[in-house]
Structure 1
């Protein structure tokens, strides 16, 4: 009996890919070297302000804005998604109108509108009572940033959540309804836990976008990281150095968020695999009795 020779697959030579890789690495190295050695980049100024108290305070405001607006925007997005999937045409129409409006108007325009709300409503409260305040006293730059970012995020999160809910197997929903589950219990126990596997990746990307969008708060003096950097370089004219300081912190924030997002995706992916993995059949009672 003749033995068959072992077949060894050889990769196809790809000289064009290797050449393109070398060129890309060389171009990237050249750009980094040019930036690092440029006399117009004052690294001593960057080192001075990277961990300064003012910059760290602006960084804290940026993190607060991102976390608060993501949580409130996600909760409001869940409500809007449920309204959009409701059997009530009025709720569906209102949710669709909200999503259409806040996704259509640029975020910067929304922030400026909230910051200048006093031009439309000089006072907020109940007329004729003591519950009336000046709008300018209530809507500060930080509050305007919270309102603008939260309402903007809610519109996008609503579509993300709606897509996750729509991906849940309809048969499981019908089975839960057959057991007598209420709509609220069905949503909490069956739909949302399974929808998270679909929701987490785009929601993580949306949070990264939110982190970067907090820089728009600088236009309304919200006290964020970029606002602080602008305040500093308006006095010492070190524009490039302070922008590099802010960029390094944004890079760090996005990197940390990306790592956490990857871990969440793997966690929910493993949970989904465990839930869909076929289990070994248990022996029938008759077979056990006859054993």
Structure 2
């Protein structure tokens, strides 16, 4: 029996941070109350959402040479505000640029195809909410798990434009325990982060929205076709993680080897014998002889 089969038999609930599960739990008619509740808890009264409508997730460029965007989840509320909900599992070099590109597509799509003078650039709000599963933004404090970003005047900090918002949820920084869950948002994030660890729905995560979440996330409730889709999505996540882990390991090895060469060069300059350099750096005799030339 393979590893994938073993995991599915011992896991009661599906992993929310794979493509199939993320869409099942946040982007279906059944999951609307889950997403509405999550967004309202995230905005903490700054916005109150009563209903949403899911929209297309594929936004091709206006010309063939222009890049398009494909969102994980895209929806609009009753006020016309646009919400892009994304999951980012691993570090991406230009992640900030990607976030701005995604929001720019949601903004540019608002332009009418006909008479733009009557429109007068009356934009609706655009929000990007991104769950960062296995990495954090390099310049964010480790003590915080939500980065709420808007356009502001640099020297005063006053908000310049409040209709464009980027919200990054750094799951690695969310380390609260059940007894430390004081807000509904903290309960939601804890449920998402630890969903695959539960054997049953815990009492401290109760209520209609949580009941719906655990019901939709239960592996036994998936149809045969849905299980196949989930397994493919899960395998893709594992494969991508293996590639990332290998790249990180290779980078660490390369860094260690480069440091060893730097140390060896200094020892050669100071007249150390080859045997001592080998002991301290783990370099081969051939590598050290090259440095001595």
Q: TM-score range by the shorter chain?
A: under 0.3
Greater strand fraction, Structure 1 or Structure 2: 2
Larger RCO (alpha carbons 8 Å, 6+ apart): 1
Greater helix fraction, Structure 1 or Structure 2: 1
Q: Normalised by the size of structure 2, how large is the TM-score? A: 0.23
Q: Rg larger in 1 or in 2?
A: 1
